[in-house]
Amino acid sequence: MKIQTANAKHGLGEPTLVELIREKIRRDGPVPFRWFMEQALYHPEYGYYSSGRATIGRRGDYFTNVSVGPLFGRIMAEQFRQMWEIMERPAAFTIVEQGAHDGEFARDVISTVRQTMTDFAGALRYAIVEPFRPLRARQTETLAQFEGVVSWCQSLDQLDPFSGVHFSNELFDALPVYLISHGSSAPDWQEKFVVEAEDGFGFADLPIRDAELHRAAAGVRVPSGTDYETEVNLAAPALVAAISRKLRHGFLLAVDYGYAREEFYSAMRNRGSMQCRIRHRVLRSPLVEIGRADITAHVEWTSLAMRGLASGLELAGFTDQHHFLTGMIAGPMRVQFQGRDELPEARALQMLLHPEFLGRSFLYLALSKGIDANARLSGFAFAKPAREQLGLIDA
């Protein structure tokens, strides 16, 4: 069994969590990377997210759309209002946010609705799915002024069926993934397991044990005779199916990094898409700074769309952030953004839109249930056909 070590000049991470992982390996043998990533991010006490250690913005570990200020929430509030109108203005419209972090996006959306959309404000309900106590405490503090509008539940299973929209911003890329690889001399897919090594932890390639992962790996088509490593995210499509079961009427709107399947598994991405960051520095391995660093893998959007279609949802749009926000600014928010170079938020808008900042980094996938097929969300006004982009023409 060949072991690949981390070879990085960083600490191993939170000592108690590191020891828990060591004990698991010593007791049960090599562990799937998916399990390792789950512990590093979501261990109830020591995980990066669950402990409340995760921070965003200039003083945190990474930037996201909310980091540039309230403009992103203001624009999305207009898109949510349009969803409500497409649904013929139901008396109750629920925004379910999963991955709400500090609650800043929810605050920006609700504030905008209350200040500028009095007709929509009466129908708005806001539900946050948050399993971790430190994050819920932050959200409760941020959203204290909206008592009676915002509610919480620990898991999607506990959420009541709803009409409205399930929204997430950088949720799917943080779900634990499997790592698989094959080499020019070993063309069959193998799974990468985490093992102990002299300087901490390492990777070992072993036969795939999980039947569902084996089926998923068999569907990954890459050039034969080449060394190739990539991720398989089985949790992301399963989450889409779970959301569909809770959604009575309305939309699923996901914002995240990623690629359609053909690009995700292209020959040029022969080392996958995993990113590990701490204080805006990129780590070369996920096997260091365990519990202290963010670990993400880009979303393979085609699988999410396919699971949504198989779960009774319809494809409502797919595009990048530049085109999505341009659709909003040129459409329902046109008057608000006239002379936008002089607006106080001009710099924030540039960061959200510009291809070299966030404009091309994020992609938007919208799925719907019970929505008129002729209805079109303004965010996708300039989008190319979604099925074509996702490679679902013949699906």
Please give the single-letter amino acid code of residue 296: T
Beta strand extents in 208-348 (DSSP E only): 228-232, 247-256, 258-259, 275-278, 281-282, 294-296, 299-300, 314-320
Average pLDDT on 235-264 reads 97
Confidence bin at 62 (pLDDT 50/70/90): low
For 47-56, 168-177, 245-254, 382-391, which range has the lowest pLDDT when averaged over its residues?
Answer: 47-56
- Whole-number pLDDT of residue 340: 59
pLDDT at 274 over 90: yes
Helix, strand, or coil here: 89? Answer: coil
pLDDT at 56 over 70: no
- Whole-number pLDDT of residue 360: 85
For residue range 118-134, what is the model confidence (pLDDT) as tens digits? 999 999 999 999 999 99
pLDDT at 154 over 90: yes
Q: What gap in Å lies between CA 312 and CA 262, rounded to an integer?
A: 24
For 3-7, 66-70, 198-202, 224-228, which range has the lowest pLDDT when averaged over its residues?
Answer: 3-7
Average pLDDT on 264-290 reads 92
- Whole-number pLDDT of residue 394: 61
CA distances from 379 to 27, 192, 253, 317, 324 (A): 51, 39, 11, 8, 4
Q: Which residues pair with 250 in a beta bridge?
A: 164, 369
Residue for token digits 């190319």?
Answer: 384
Confidence bin at 152 (pLDDT 50/70/90): very high
pLDDT at 61 over 60: no
For residue range 326-353, what is the model confidence (pLDDT) as tens digits? 999 998 888 787 665 656 677 888 888 8
- Whole-number pLDDT of residue 4: 61
Confidence bin at 10 (pLDDT 50/70/90): low
**H or E element, residue 31:** strand 31-32
Looking at every residue in the chain, the average pLDDT score rounds to 91
Percent of the chain topping pLDDT 90:
78
Contact, 55 vs 102, CB < 8 A? no
Buried b (16+ CB within 10 A) or exposed e, 152-167: beeebeebeebbbbbb
For residue range 64-110, what is the model confidence (pLDDT) as tens digits? 788 888 999 999 999 999 999 999 999 999 999 999 999 999 999 99
Closest CA to 175 of 103, 100, 99, 91: 99
Average pLDDT on 22-40 reads 98
Model confidence pTM above 0.75 = yes
Contact, 280 vs 61, CB < 8 A? yes
pLDDT at 388 over 70: yes
Q: Please, which residues have CB within 8 angstroms of residue 147's CB and are 6 or more apart in sequence?
A: none
